[in-house]
Chains A and B, each alone.
Chain A
């Protein structure tokens, strides 16, 4: 552990030998394409497929009415709501699936899409989530009996009355209205599957782009059990995945239709989305409207915070949220600061937009919460004219206060926030930057410095709070060491580029002394891997990584017994160093782990179970709380308002790091995905619910060209409850970067009197904001 071992999986990727779902080719395979709704809200008057069916090669056109015969036209969501697989009468968002074409060739299926005549009666769409709550707003979910409005749920946590009292009496209160925009994970590989139902064996093999193969297998059995597809008859295989980021957690209608089509026709059916379908119809992330408030003293002590959220869930609540809290971990939004009172409430609404709410590189609403607390903290600093770094130092939870009970009910495991911020300030030369900024302001130049000192919450999760459809959020590892001392290890998680094949092997190597190169890691096949809940929300290292360590320790205990037997000494007389047991005081008398393993198959002690295998299911006692201190420096052109990120320093604390190179790679990717919503990405809808940027021509994903030079580093505060003290790194940078960038831009615009801007912040938005404020032509030079 702690070594930058090269990634074992990269050999096949750099040789172009990765095997993805679209690479699966089966004899007799058919192709599916999907007719989608051009309207956001419309009644389907009729569907005429006769012209499509007349095209040679088109075998079937499946509609909601067809699926209704098998009760497969709807499915449950992870939030116990319902979602159409195919509509029987009404479409609820633009690009919704309306009918599926099954054909012998991919392009025949695509051509046939245009020949399916759907007669719609267009209705006025509900797009604005605030208007969705108006009394005269049309009720969208008429399928739900007795539903009289578009409200989904209300949730609250914290000390309501105490917080209100503090706000009423506080010297300083600041408040901002924020929108965390609706964005998309936009992974390079879109979603897809090959459903292969074998009628003779009554067996379904499902190759699919999923981050959670076992959970999918159980869901398939729950949804299709009544037509005979029970869980032992289902095998889900998740091959290589080209990016998941949460977008490959949900069950999309396309998967279910492909299964239904294969079941009815008895042949394999392949469905692969194109880019626009992926962007327009698959689960979105974020879309929280937040009113954030902070109360404090004039000299900069934070006393309380209050947050009110309106969550736009689209047509159904299909959030990929396996916690018992409807807003997931939003309640981490009290941040890294020590104050006893906070109150948060949230309401969710239905609108005519695609469903979703995936945890895009984020443990369920942490990004939204962190943005709100880090932005409002800077707003507070601006109000009392205090340096935002000093304000943070004055309010940080101190190192010796851990485990720290947060006002919203979490127990932060460990942290050293001061150390992180000090290191970041040193790296960026903070004081010098502030001097430079003062000089530039005299000349009227726009330069900003933004901070984000966030606390993350990952590793879902402890079984008391976390489950998917009742299945607890543990994860698993199974290690089998072969007689020759080489091993295979299988896990319930599923890498989508995180490097599990390397890092899991390193954990086992550390605990068991077998070289990481000798350990084959396998995931993604439900027939072979132990049951697990998959990879997302930075949970793999906290759960499956812990399971690997514990399983390896079980084997080490067994190895000690065998070594004692082989060396004819008592177990207590043995000492372990990675790779071998030796007799205390006589290091020449030793047995290597390879010799011990061989003996377990060839010469094991009488009464001991033969072989060298162990399995562990790890239910974490608590979540882990990584943290970070990020500092961003921007320069903004005064004429064009072009924003240049000059520097970005990211100091992360993820506890013990298994492979620094893999961790750094995660940080670089994550920071770029944090830059994305800060300056570029947002799914935009017009008043009729038309998506205005449903292609990569308009939906701006930052590339290497837009990315600044990320400067990374770390502090190490181990998690006290994790077997190897690791915390998880995958999502920290995506969570922590947007507020640092937004804070830097708002800081740059301080001379104009700007106190807040919603992300993504673009040159045009700055221009418009200054114009609306009437300060566009203001002379801001102080000198």
Chain B
């Protein structure tokens, strides 16, 4: 099961400040809901874990994140993640491309994330993955904003409400 999630957002911060945090794996990972970096292998490789929850199914992935590209000049980055469900229920792969651009003193960030999930989570979550992922992405942006502003935040997975929000989202679309 493959899903592509794109997100474009603008931050009221100068690009240098945004890029400094964005390109720092420890900082950026602290903003990803449910994610933790557990070990730095080298400058480009990190061990970590991600917890995801789709309705009745919760999966914890142990994996490795690799920085494929981190171009400070063009503000372009490519991250690759590969994880294995800790209970043997499947695996997940993720490729994330990010591009930051200056926009009248602010910073526009463009994210494209391709996620491929196999196993039990793919069975249960196929119809929810886009909505849940979009929600995760929103939460990430909020967290990242708070990080830049120096506000407090936490990256706990707000899973309980996530499916509810996703379901509400589906019905909203039908009404429209």
Asked if A692 and B119 sit within 8 Å, CB to CB, the answer is no
A751 interfacial by beta-carbon distance below 8 Å: no
User: CB within 8 Å of B: which of A25-49?
Assistant: 35, 38-39
With most chain B CB atoms within 10 A of its CB, the pick from A94, A122, A690 is A690
Minimal Cβ-Cβ distance residue in A for B117: A690
B114 interfacial by beta-carbon distance below 8 Å: no
Asked if A114 and B87 sit within 8 Å, CB to CB, the answer is yes
Minimal Cβ-Cβ distance residue in B for A689: B118
Minimal Cβ-Cβ distance residue in A for B120: A38
Beyond the given A38-B88, A690-B119, A691-B123, please list 10 additional residue pairs across the A-B interface where CB-CB is below 8 A: A38-B89, A38-B119, A114-B87, A117-B88, A122-B91, A688-B122, A690-B1, A690-B122, A692-B126, A694-B123
Residues of B close to A690: CB separation below 8 A: 1, 118-119, 122-123, 126
CB distance from A109 to the nearest CB of B (A): 15
Residues of B close to A694: CB separation below 8 A: 123
Q: A122-B118, A690-B119 are in contact. Are A116 and B126 (CB under 8 A)?
A: no
B90 interfacial by beta-carbon distance below 8 Å: yes
Q: A686-B1, A686-B126, A692-B126 are in contact. Are A114 and B119 (CB under 8 A)?
A: no
B85 interfacial by beta-carbon distance below 8 Å: yes
Minimal Cβ-Cβ distance residue in A for B116: A688
5 intermolecular pairs with C-beta atoms under 8 Å apart: A39-B118, A116-B88, A686-B122, A692-B126, A694-B123
Asked if A38 and B126 sit within 8 Å, CB to CB, the answer is no
Q: A38-B85, A38-B118, A686-B1 are in contact. Are A692 and B91 (CB under 8 A)?
A: no
CB distance from A639 to the nearest CB of B (A): 12
Q: What residues make up the interface of A, taking CB atoms closer than 8 Å to B?
A: 35, 38-39, 94, 114, 116-118, 122, 686, 688, 690-692, 694-695
Q: A686-B1, A688-B1, A690-B1 are in contact. Are A114 and B88 (CB under 8 A)?
A: yes
Minimal Cβ-Cβ distance residue in B for A692: B126
Residues of A close to B123: CB separation below 8 A: 94, 690-692, 694
Residues of B close to A94: CB separation below 8 A: 119, 123
CB distance from B94 to the nearest CB of A (A): 15
* A48, B126: Cα distance in complex, Å: 30
* A35, B120: Cα distance in complex, Å: 13
0/1 per residue, B33-70, Cβ < 8 Å to A?
A: 00000000000000000000000000000000000000
* A695, B54: Cα distance in complex, Å: 15
CB distance from B176 to the nearest CB of A (A): 15
Minimal Cβ-Cβ distance residue in B for A42: B118
Residues of A close to B90: CB separation below 8 A: 38-39
CB distance from A678 to the nearest CB of B (A): 23
Asked if B118 and A118 sit within 8 Å, CB to CB, the answer is no
User: CB within 8 Å of A: which of B113-140?
Assistant: 118-120, 122-124, 126
Minimal Cβ-Cβ distance residue in B for A276: B123
Asked if B122 and A118 sit within 8 Å, CB to CB, the answer is no
0/1 per residue, B18-32, Cβ < 8 Å to A?
A: 000000000000000
Asked if A39 and B119 sit within 8 Å, CB to CB, the answer is yes
* A116, B86: Cα distance in complex, Å: 11
Residues of A close to B91: CB separation below 8 A: 38, 122
* A686, B117: Cα distance in complex, Å: 11
CB distance from A686 to the nearest CB of B (A): 5
Residues of B close to A686: CB separation below 8 A: 1, 122, 126
Residues of A close to B126: CB separation below 8 A: 686, 690, 692
* A118, B88: Cα distance in complex, Å: 7
* Chain B contact patch, size range: 10 to 19
Residues of A close to B87: CB separation below 8 A: 114
* A691, B118: Cα distance in complex, Å: 10
- Interface pairs A-B: 6 shortest CB-CB: A38-B119, A690-B122, A38-B90, A114-B87, A692-B126, A38-B89
CB distance from A665 to the nearest CB of B (A): 35
Residues of A close to B88: CB separation below 8 A: 35, 38, 114, 116-118
CB distance from A44 to the nearest CB of B (A): 11
CB distance from A532 to the nearest CB of B (A): 39
CB distance from B68 to the nearest CB of A (A): 21
Residues of A close to B120: CB separation below 8 A: 38
0/1 per residue, B68-95, Cβ < 8 Å to A?
A: 0000000000000000010111110000
CB distance from B87 to the nearest CB of A (A): 4
Residues of B close to A688: CB separation below 8 A: 1, 118, 122
CB distance from B147 to the nearest CB of A (A): 35
With most chain B CB atoms within 10 A of its CB, the pick from A38, A116, A118 is A38
* A208, B73: Cα distance in complex, Å: 69
Minimal Cβ-Cβ distance residue in A for B122: A690
* A692, B125: Cα distance in complex, Å: 8
* A539, B41: Cα distance in complex, Å: 66
* A39, B124: Cα distance in complex, Å: 14
* A410, B79: Cα distance in complex, Å: 64
CB distance from A760 to the nearest CB of B (A): 17
CB distance from B115 to the nearest CB of A (A): 13
CB distance from B78 to the nearest CB of A (A): 23
Residues of B close to A114: CB separation below 8 A: 87-88
Minimal Cβ-Cβ distance residue in B for A118: B88
Residues of B close to A38: CB separation below 8 A: 85, 88-91, 118-120
CB distance from A115 to the nearest CB of B (A): 8
* A35, B90: Cα distance in complex, Å: 13
Residues of A close to B89: CB separation below 8 A: 38
* A39, B122: Cα distance in complex, Å: 10
* A38, B91: Cα distance in complex, Å: 9
* A610, B91: Cα distance in complex, Å: 72
CB distance from B170 to the nearest CB of A (A): 13
Residues of A close to B1: CB separation below 8 A: 686, 688, 690
* A686, B122: Cα distance in complex, Å: 9
Residues of B close to A35: CB separation below 8 A: 88
* A38, B85: Cα distance in complex, Å: 10
CB distance from A242 to the nearest CB of B (A): 25
Minimal Cβ-Cβ distance residue in B for A685: B123
* A694, B89: Cα distance in complex, Å: 14
* A688, B120: Cα distance in complex, Å: 12
CB distance from A699 to the nearest CB of B (A): 11
Minimal Cβ-Cβ distance residue in A for B89: A38
CB distance from B34 to the nearest CB of A (A): 20
Minimal Cβ-Cβ distance residue in A for B91: A122
Residues of B close to A116: CB separation below 8 A: 88
CB distance from A261 to the nearest CB of B (A): 21
Residues of B close to A117: CB separation below 8 A: 88
* A94, B124: Cα distance in complex, Å: 13
* A118, B89: Cα distance in complex, Å: 10
* A118, B84: Cα distance in complex, Å: 11
CB distance from A279 to the nearest CB of B (A): 11
Minimal Cβ-Cβ distance residue in A for B118: A688
Minimal Cβ-Cβ distance residue in B for A40: B118
Residues of B close to A691: CB separation below 8 A: 123
CB distance from A99 to the nearest CB of B (A): 11
* A686, B125: Cα distance in complex, Å: 12
* A690, B89: Cα distance in complex, Å: 12
* A39, B89: Cα distance in complex, Å: 9
Residues of B close to A39: CB separation below 8 A: 90, 118-119
* A117, B119: Cα distance in complex, Å: 15
Residues of A close to B122: CB separation below 8 A: 686, 688, 690, 692
* A122, B119: Cα distance in complex, Å: 11
* A686, B87: Cα distance in complex, Å: 22
* A688, B118: Cα distance in complex, Å: 7
* A688, B91: Cα distance in complex, Å: 12
* A695, B119: Cα distance in complex, Å: 14
With most chain A CB atoms within 10 A of its CB, the pick from B88, B90, B119 is B88
Minimal Cβ-Cβ distance residue in B for A686: B1
CB distance from B116 to the nearest CB of A (A): 8
Minimal Cβ-Cβ distance residue in B for A114: B87
Minimal Cβ-Cβ distance residue in A for B126: A692
User: CB within 8 Å of A: which of B1-15?
Assistant: 1
CB distance from B58 to the nearest CB of A (A): 12
